[in-house]
């Protein structure tokens, strides 16, 4: 475990310097990283192809292979994200609020980095770039611990990022990759509370729960997305069909894809045949409750587990509900507090839905696929938090900060 400990110690030491690095140096580093990713795109894709080939031999699902894959378009997206992050305001040193007490003390609440951020993630090499960039800009050192399936991609990406960042003036040690992908190294990593200030798992339910249960480091839960689309009785059915198709089919392997469709019983007979046809054309397997089955006997009957499953594939559970209250009750029972949407023309139903659904992102007449740091204008996200402390939803720069109080006086002492 020497590698893990040494890199954690180096990151802790670097974090104290990085917290005070001027915004211009951080921005120059981000520009340099973006430029080097473009210049080295061929090497990145070649390293990724080794991981993809190994993944196919290992029998990874299409969804996991899709998450793992890098191509010119995805590298271009990483580069765009880097420039977006660069152009955002530096959060460090921001005075969140300030006031003066009757005794003359002046109190400022000032934004500061978290310190050292640890990321444990699976077969998503884009996380390597997003996490390094967001942590760099927010003044945090980062320790990346990806999975075996993406190790070659992660080594190449981290090499490019580190060389570009350090050359631009970022303190050596600020960006670390743990190359030992064994379970033992992960469990040891999760115990290094002395060096790591927060741990963020990104991946499936099993990974997240393992980290939450075993980590001694404060953890932010992210990722698992059992998302729902509810088509309310007043909905524009054409709009509803487009939203459902996009939310389910545009990229079914990601956490903001819809896994369950809820349809108001008042429009089920009209809407379900329409959406069934379009889903079948997109090769979606449909699993419905008895009322959904009554409209079309050829679909598969859903079982209890289907309502709580994040399929991450072209499978959709369909349930007919009595109204918005029934829909909200179902979502709050089976959802993972990620992203939920209602399609409706009724403002009262929309307000009830947004007020009562317990989720990080709640949509009205839009696809859940927008729950993403880039789409929210953050450049990228370090994860999508499904908890309530201290961050929720896509985590950008400000979510990677804490604050301190700076108190200025003129000799005041407390009387009692």
Domain of residue 336, CATH code: 3.40.309.10
Q: Average pLDDT of 99-111?
A: 98
pLDDT for residue 390 is more than 90 = no
Question: Do residues 25 and 172 share a domain?
Answer: yes
CA-CA distance, 128 to 178, in Å (whole number)? 12
Contacts of 351 (CB under 8 A, 6+ apart): none
Question: Do residues 288 and 152 share a domain?
Answer: no
Residue 126 has a pLDDT of: 93
Question: Do residues 276 and 364 share a domain?
Answer: yes
Instruction: Give me the residues paired with residue 228 across strands.
Output: 260, 340
In a domain, 149, yes or no: yes
The tally of CA atoms less than 13 A away on the side-chain side of residue 311 is 23
pLDDT for residue 168 is more than 90 = yes
In a domain, 329, yes or no: yes
Contact 285, 314 (CB under 8 A): yes
Give the tokens for residue 406.
């700076």
CA-CA distance, 39 to 35, in Å (whole number)? 6
Rounded to the nearest integer, the mean pLDDT of the chain is 96
In a domain, 188, yes or no: yes
Contact 48, 153 (CB under 8 A): yes
Question: Do residues 251 and 330 share a domain?
Answer: yes
Q: Average pLDDT of 166-194?
A: 97
In a domain, 201, yes or no: yes
Residue 51 has a pLDDT of: 97
In a domain, 182, yes or no: yes
Question: Do residues 72 and 209 share a domain?
Answer: yes
CA-CA distance, 241 to 373, in Å (whole number)? 25
Contact 367, 240 (CB under 8 A): no
Q: How many domains does the chain have?
A: 2
Owner of token pair 């990321």:
119
pLDDT for residue 294 is more than 90 = yes
Residue 365 has a pLDDT of: 98
In a domain, 382, yes or no: no
Measured in residues, the chain has a length of 416
Best CA proximity match to 385, nearest among 369, 366, 404, 400: 400
Range of the domain at 301: 227-370
Which CATH number characterizes residue 210's domain? 3.40.605.10
Q: Average pLDDT of 165-186?
A: 97
Best CA proximity match to 331, nearest among 360, 311, 302: 360
Question: Helix (H, G, I), strand (E, B), or coil: what is residue 44?
Answer: helix
Q: Average pLDDT of 265-294?
A: 98
In a domain, 416, yes or no: no
Contact 283, 296 (CB under 8 A): no
Q: Average pLDDT of 340-359?
A: 98
% residues pLDDT > 90 (the chain): 93
Question: Do residues 259 and 284 share a domain?
Answer: yes
Residue 389 has a pLDDT of: 85
In a domain, 39, yes or no: yes
Contacts of 277 (CB under 8 A, 6+ apart): none
* Whole-prediction pTM: 0.92
Question: Do residues 58 and 188 share a domain?
Answer: yes
Confidence of residue 29 (pLDDT cuts 50, 70, 90): very high
Question: Do residues 239 and 214 share a domain?
Answer: no
Q: Average pLDDT of 59-67?
A: 89
The phi and psi torsions of 76 (rounded to 5 degrees) equal: -60, -40
Confidence of residue 1 (pLDDT cuts 50, 70, 90): confident
Residue 224 has a pLDDT of: 84
């Amino acid at each position: 475990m020497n590698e893990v400990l040494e890199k954690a110690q180096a990151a802790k030491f670097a974090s104290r310097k990085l917290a005070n690095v001027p915004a211009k140096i951080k921005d120059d580093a981000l520009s340099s990283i973006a430029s080097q990713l473009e210049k080295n795109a061929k090497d990145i894709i070649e390293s990724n192809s080794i991981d993809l080939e190994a993944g196919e031999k290992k029998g990874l699902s299409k969804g996991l292979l899709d998450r793992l894959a890098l191509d010119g378009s995805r590298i271009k997206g990483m580069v765009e994200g880097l420039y977006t992050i660069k152009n955002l305001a530096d959060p460090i040193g921001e005075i969140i609020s300030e006031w003066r007490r009757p005794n003359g003390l002046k109190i400022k609440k000032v934004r500061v980095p978290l310190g050292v951020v640890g990321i444990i993630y699976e077969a998503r090499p884009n996380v390597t770039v997003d996490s390094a960039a967001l942590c760099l800009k927010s003044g945090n050192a980062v320790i990346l611990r990806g999975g075996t399936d993406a190790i070659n991609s992660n080594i190449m990406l981290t090499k490019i990022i580190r060389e570009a960042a350090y050359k631009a003036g970022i303190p050596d040690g600020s960006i670390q990759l743990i190359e030992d992908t064994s379970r033992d190294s992960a469990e040891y990593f999760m115990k290094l509370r002395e060096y790591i200030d927060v741990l963020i798992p990104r991946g499936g339910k099993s990974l997240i729960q393992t980290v939450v249960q075993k980590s001694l480091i404060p953890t932010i839960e992210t990722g698992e997305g059992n998302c729902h689309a509810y088509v309310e009785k007043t909905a524009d059915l054409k709009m509803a069909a487009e939203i459902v198709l996009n939310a389910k089919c545009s990229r079914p392997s990601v956490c903001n894809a819809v896994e369950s469709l809820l349809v108001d019983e008042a429009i089920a007979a009209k809407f379900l045949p329409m959406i069934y046809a379009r889903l079948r054309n997109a090769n979606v397997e449909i699993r419905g409750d008895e009322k959904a089955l009554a409209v079309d006997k050829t679909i598969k009957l859903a079982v209890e587990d289907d309502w709580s499953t994040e399929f991450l594939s072209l499978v959709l559970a369909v349930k007919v509900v009595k109204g918005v209250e029934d829909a909200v009750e179902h979502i709050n029972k089976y959802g993972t507090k990620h992203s939920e949407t209602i399609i409706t023309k009724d403002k009262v139903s929309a307000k009830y839905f947004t007020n009562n659904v317990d989720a990080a992102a709640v949509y009205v007449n839009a696809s859940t696929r927008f729950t993403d740091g880039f789409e929210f204008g953050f450049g990228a996200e370090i994860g999508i938090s499904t908890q309530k402390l201290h961050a929720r939803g896509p985590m950008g720069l400000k979510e990677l900060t804490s604050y301190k109080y700076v108190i200025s006086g003129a000799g005041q002492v407390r009387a009692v």
